[in-house]
């Protein structure tokens, strides 16, 4: 079983409950298609623009057992708002820098 932490865009919290993120993880679809059984150990926001709290929150989920961090589709793909986070690449780079290669980073969920 792979333990996953998911980081979402704070701006989408009023529009999206994360239902599809949980569904595709449970069913092993979309970004989770080749990962086997998934357990979600955390579902947090980036902390708001520009997303600098994502680093600490990703580390916190790893400390609590996450083996991978998934960025919800609202960040990289812009779902459901229609545009991706303008800080997406910076957030991803900062999380990568903090966690090194100790865990897998997943760039979207569905």
- Domains of the chain plus CATH, in order, are 2-106 (3.40.50.2300)
- End-to-end alpha carbon distance in the chain: 19
CB within 8 Å of 42: residues ≥ 6 apart: 5, 6, 57, 60, 61, 64, 66
Overall pTM surpassing 0.85 (yes/no) = yes
The Cα–Cα gap between 73 and 75 comes to: 5
48-99, pLDDT tens digit by residue? 999 999 999 999 999 999 999 999 999 999 988 888 999 999 999 999 999 9
């Amino acid at each position: 079983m792979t333990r996953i932490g998911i980081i979402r865009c704070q701006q989408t919290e009023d529009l999206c409950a994360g239902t599809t993120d949980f569904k595709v993880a449970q069913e092993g679809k979309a970004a989770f298609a080749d990962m086997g059984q998934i357990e979600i150990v955390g579902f947090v926001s980036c902390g708001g623009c520009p997303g600098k709290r994502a680093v600490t929150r990703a580390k916190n989920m790893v400390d609590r057992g996450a083996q991978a961090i998934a960025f919800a589709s609202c960040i990289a793909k812009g779902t459901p708002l229609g545009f991706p986070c303008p800080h997406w690449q910076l957030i991803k780079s900062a999380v990568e820098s903090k966690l090194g290669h100790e865990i897998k980073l997943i760039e979207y969920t569905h």
